[in-house]
């Protein structure tokens, strides 16, 4: 199956287990892998025959900015659901969600959730 990869989607949001994370917020970064058949677009060279990834970028940024979750897993699932419901041509989505600066003492790393979902997830979780 073909895929489109969109990396480096950043937004400031309010997801986190600590109450101050949901009030003060922090930066998140998302990468998406979008699986769909790209044969028609490759043949026609027409934007209408492929997936408009600008829509996915906008959805991800809006979700991060406006939704508040305690867990990264819940935000990643919401991104999966929104992305899959945006276009029926999408068969599967991989969401790599990174918390860029986790509020953990003496820790300078990043925390990430990597989630892959297909249309069966959409049908069972709406």
pTM above 0.85, yes or no: yes
Query: What Å distances lie between residue 33 and 36, 65, 73, 88, CA to CA?
Result: 10, 21, 17, 15
User: Residues 13-58: pLDDT tens digits?
Assistant: 999 998 888 889 999 999 999 999 999 999 999 999 999 999 999 9
What mean pLDDT is predicted for residues 96-104?
90
Residue 11, CA distances (Å) to 6, 17, 62, 113 in order: 14, 18, 8, 16
pLDDT tens per residue, range 75-98: 999 999 999 998 999 999 999 999
| 87 noted as active-site residue | no
> Structure tokens of 120?
């069966």
pLDDT value for 35? 97
Query: Rounded CA gap, 27 and 95, in Å?
Result: 16
126 pLDDT higher than 70 = no
Domain range spanning residue 42? 3-124
Residue whose C-alpha is closest to residue 116's, from 86, 62, 79: 79
Q: In the 8-state DSSP scheme, what is residue 68?
A: -
CATH number of the CATH domain containing 84: 3.30.1130.10
**How many domains does the chain fold into?**
1
Q: Which of 81, 94, 99, 117 is catalytic?
A: 99
């Amino acid at each position: 199956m073909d895929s489109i990869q969109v990396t480096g989607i950043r937004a400031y949001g309010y997801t986190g287990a600590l109450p101050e994370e949901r009030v003060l917020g922090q930066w998140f970064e998302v990468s998406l892998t979008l699986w769909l058949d790209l044969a028609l677009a490759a043949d026609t060279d027409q934007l209408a025959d492929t997936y408009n990834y600008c829509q996915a970028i906008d959805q991800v940024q809006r979700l991060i900015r406006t939704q508040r979750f305690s867990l990264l897993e819940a935000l990643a699932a919401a991104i999966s659901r929104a992305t899959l419901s945006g276009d029926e041509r999408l068969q599967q989505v991989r969401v790599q969600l990174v918390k860029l600066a986790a509020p953990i003492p003496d820790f300078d790393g990043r925390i990430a959730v990597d989630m892959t979902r297909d249309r069966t997830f959409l049908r069972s979780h709406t």
